[in-house]
Homo-oligomer: A and B are copies of this chain.
Amino acid sequence: QAMSSVRRCLCQGPRLNMVRPQNIDKVEIYPASAYCENVEIIVTLKKDAGQKCLKPESKFAQNYIKRAIQKRSLQ
């Protein structure tokens, strides 16, 4: 996953449709901005397995993020 130093789009190259939820340590969402017209979703994996870019429009990304932020409010 090439991360450019100058702040253009962080996700270069192919993006994943999904990753195993249990491997996810953190999800970063970069809203569309002057630097990059796309929303970018970068997942940091547990056990220093690095970072992956997710397709924002993938069903997995949409559902996973919605469930993650609602989980706290359901308790």
Contact = CB atoms under 8 A, between A and B. Distances in A.
A39 B67 CA distance: 10
Contacts of A65: 29, 65, 69
A23 to B, nearest CB: 11
Q: How large is the interface on A (under 10, 10 to 19, 20 to 34, 35 or more residues)?
A: 20 to 34
* A contacts with B: majority SS: mixed
Q: Please tell me how many copies of the chain the complex holds.
A: 2
A65 B65 CA distance: 8
Contact of A29 (B21, B27, B57, B73): B27
Contacts of A32: 71-72
Interface in A46-75: 56-57, 61-62, 65-66, 68-73
